[in-house]
C-alpha cells in the first residue's frame, strides 16, 4: 500500500513483454512508440521494459536524445560506452587487481609486480563507425544482445545532417540485428511519422510505429483510494478524475499534484482544484518566467494559438500586426512557431492547427488574454 501519493506507481510488465515479443519476431526492425511528453514513456522504459529485458537475457541501454539535441548520435555512443565501461573496466582497486595480469612475484614474499592496467581498444573517431563498433563490442562483452532504448528519437531529425545520422543508425540496427534490438520513443507524432512512415525518409517502413498507451482507471483508482485512506472514506469521483486526467493530457505527475492539492485543502471537487492550481503563485511564476524568456512575436503567437486561431491565417496576421511594433510576415510567424515547437511549448509543427503542449498553460494564456481585454 502506498504511503504517500507520490509512492503510487503503475507497473506494466505485460506490456513490456509484449513489446519484447514483437521485437524478437522482427529482427532488425525497431519499435517506435509515440505519446505526448510526460505521460510516462521514460518511466515505462526504466521501470518496466528494462527489468523485463534483463530477465529475458538482454542488456538494456538508455539514451535521452532530447537532452542532447545538438549531438544525438554522440549521446547514443556515450550511453553505449558507459555500458561497456561498466562491464569491462573494474569498479575499484580490488577489481583492478583482480583483472590485471601478474607479471612476476618479488623474492621472499615481496609485493607482486602487476602488469599494465587493462585498457580499452581504440574505437573509431567517426560517430557513425563508433556506433557500429560499440554495439558489437558491448554485445560481445555482455554475452547478450543489447536493447537500445532511445528516448525522443525525433531529435535526430532536428540536427544538421540528421538524415545521414538516421541512415547510419538504420544501417547499424539492420547489420547487427543479431546483437541489438531497439525501441524508440517520440513525443511529436508528426516528426516521428515523418521519420518512419514518409516515403523517401531514411527510416521509411523500417521502424514499426505504435501508439504508447496512457495510464487508465487503475492509476486513478489508486489515487482516489489513497485519498479515501487519508480522509476517512471521502474521495473524488472516478469520473471527475478521468475527465480532468484527459483534459491535462494524461500526465501522471500533474494529476498527482492536483490530487495532492485537493488533499491539502480537504476538498473532493476536482474542477475547483484545477482552477486553484491555475492560480497558484508558484505555477503562475513559472509560466510568467517562460513568457518573459520568449521574443515578443513568440509570446503573441502563443496568445493567438491559445484563443484557437490558426497561426498562419490572415486574421491572425492582422491581429499580430496590431500587437507588434513591426508588422510580422508569414515567414517570421513560421520561424516563431518552429522555435516554440523545438522548445517543446507547441505540440505540433508548422503545418495544420497548432496546439500548446501544456493544456493548463494554454488555459492560463487564454485567461490572461481575457483579463488583458477587460
Q: What is the DSSP string of 250-272?
A: S-HHHHHHHHHHHHHHT---HHH
- Residue 116 is given by DSSP the state P
Helix (H) or strand (E) segment spanning residue 134? helix 127-142
| Res 348: pLDDT | 57
| Alpha-carbon torsion (354, 357, 363, 364), positive or negative | negative
Helix (H, G, I), strand (E, B) or coil at 320: helix
Q: CB under 8 Å to 325, separation ≥6 — which residues?
A: none
Q: What's the pTM?
A: 0.82
pLDDT for 97: 45
**Grid coordinates representing 202?**
531514411
C-alpha angle 129-53-252 in degrees, rounded to nearest 5: 105
DSSP-assigned letter for residue 59: E
> Distance of CA 122 to CAs 81, 91, 142, 263, Å?
12, 20, 19, 57
* DSSP secondary structure string for all residues of 196-244: HTSTTSTTTTTSEEEEPPPP-HHHHHHHHHHHHHHTTT----HHHHHHH
Residues in the chain: 374
For each of the chain's 374 residues, which pLDDT tens digit applies?
A: 668 999 999 999 999 999 999 999 999 999 999 988 889 999 999 999 999 999 999 999 999 988 887 888 899 999 999 999 999 876 554 454 444 444 444 444 444 454 555 555 688 989 889 999 999 999 999 999 999 999 988 888 777 777 888 888 999 999 999 999 999 998 877 777 777 766 677 777 788 989 999 999 999 999 999 999 999 999 999 999 999 999 999 999 999 999 999 999 999 999 999 989 888 888 899 999 999 999 999 999 999 999 889 899 999 999 999 989 888 999 999 999 989 987 889 875 544 568 898 888 998 998 888 777 65
Q: Residue 201 and residue 223: Cα distance in Å, rounded?
A: 43
Read off the pLDDT of residues 291-333 as tens digits, 9 standing for 90 and up.
Answer: 999 999 999 999 999 988 989 999 999 999 998 988 899 999 9
List the CATH code of the domain at 284-373.
1.10.10
- The confidence score (pLDDT) of residue 17 equals 98
Q: What residue has cell string 555500458?
A: 83
pLDDT of 241 reads 97
The answer to whether 44 and 12 have CB atoms below 8 angstroms apart is yes
Pairing of strands 112-114, 102-105: antiparallel
**CATH 3.40.50.300 for domain 5-211:** yes
Residue 327 is predicted with a pLDDT of: 87
From residue 152, give the alpha-carbon distance in Å to each of 112, 188, 263: 50, 8, 34
Neighbours of 13 (CB within 10 A): 13
Amino acid at each position: 500500500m502506498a504511503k504517500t501519493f507520490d509512492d503510487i506507481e503503475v507497473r506494466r510488465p505485460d506490456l513490456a513483454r509484449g513489446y519484447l515479443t514483437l521485437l524478437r519476431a522482427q529482427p532488425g526492425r525497431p519499435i517506435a512508440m509515440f505519446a505526448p511528453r510526460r505521460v510516462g514513456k521514460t518511466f515505462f522504459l526504466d521501470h518496466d521494459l528494462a527489468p523485463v529485458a534483463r530477465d529475458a537475457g538482454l542488456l538494456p541501454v538508455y539514451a535521452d536524445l532530447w537532452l542532447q539535441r545538438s549531438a544525438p548520435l554522440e549521446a547514443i555512443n556515450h550511453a553505449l560506452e558507459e555500458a561497456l565501461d561498466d562491464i569491462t573496466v573494474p569498479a575499484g582497486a580490488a577489481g583492478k587487481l583482480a583483472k590485471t595480469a601478474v607479471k612476476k612475484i618479488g623474492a621472499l614474499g615481496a609485493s607482486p609486480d602487476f602488469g599494465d592496467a587493462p585498457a580499452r581498444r581504440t574505437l573509431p573517431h567517426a560517430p557513425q563507425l563508433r556506433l557500429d563498433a560499440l554495439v558489437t563490442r558491448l554485445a560481445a562483452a555482455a554475452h547478450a544482445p543489447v536493447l537500445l532504448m532511445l528516448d525522443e528519437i525525433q531529435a535526430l531529425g532536428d540536427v544538421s545532417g540528421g538524415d545521414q545520422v538516421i541512415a547510419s543508425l538504420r544501417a547499424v540496427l539492420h547489420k547487427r540485428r543479431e546483437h541489438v534490438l531497439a525501441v524508440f520513443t517520440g513525443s511529436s507524432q508528426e516528426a516521428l511519422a515523418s521519420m518512419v512512415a514518409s516515403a523517401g525518409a531514411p527510416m521509411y517502413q523500417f521502424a514499426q510505429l505504435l501508439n504508447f498507451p496512457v495510464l487508465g482507471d487503475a492509476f486513478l483508482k489508486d489515487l482516489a483510494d489513497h485519498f479515501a485512506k487519508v480522509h476517512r472514506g471521502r474521495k473524488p469521483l472516478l469520473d471527475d478524475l478521468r475527465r480532468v486526467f484527459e483534459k491535462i493530457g494524461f500526465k501522471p505527475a500533474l494529476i498527482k499534484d492536483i490530487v495532492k492539492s485537493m488533499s491539502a485543502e480537504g476538498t473532493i471537487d476536482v474542477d475547483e482544484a484545477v482552477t486553484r492550481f491555475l492560480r497558484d503563485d508558484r505555477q503562475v511564476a513559472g509560466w510568467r518566467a517562460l513568457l518573459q524568456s520568449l521574443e515578443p512575436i513568440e509570446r503573441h503567437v502563443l496568445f493567438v494559438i491559445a484563443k484557437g486561431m490558426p497561426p498562419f491565417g490572415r486574421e491572425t496576421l492582422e491581429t499580430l500586426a496590431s500587437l507588434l511594433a513591426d508588422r510580422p510576415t508569414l515567414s517570421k510567424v513560421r520561424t516563431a512557431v518552429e522555435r516554440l515547437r523545438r522548445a517543446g511549448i507547441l505540440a505540433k509543427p508548422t503545418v495544420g492547427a497548432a496546439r500548446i503542449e501544456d493544456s493548463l498553460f494554454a488555459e492560463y494564456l487564454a485567461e490572461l488574454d481575457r483579463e488583458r481585454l477587460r
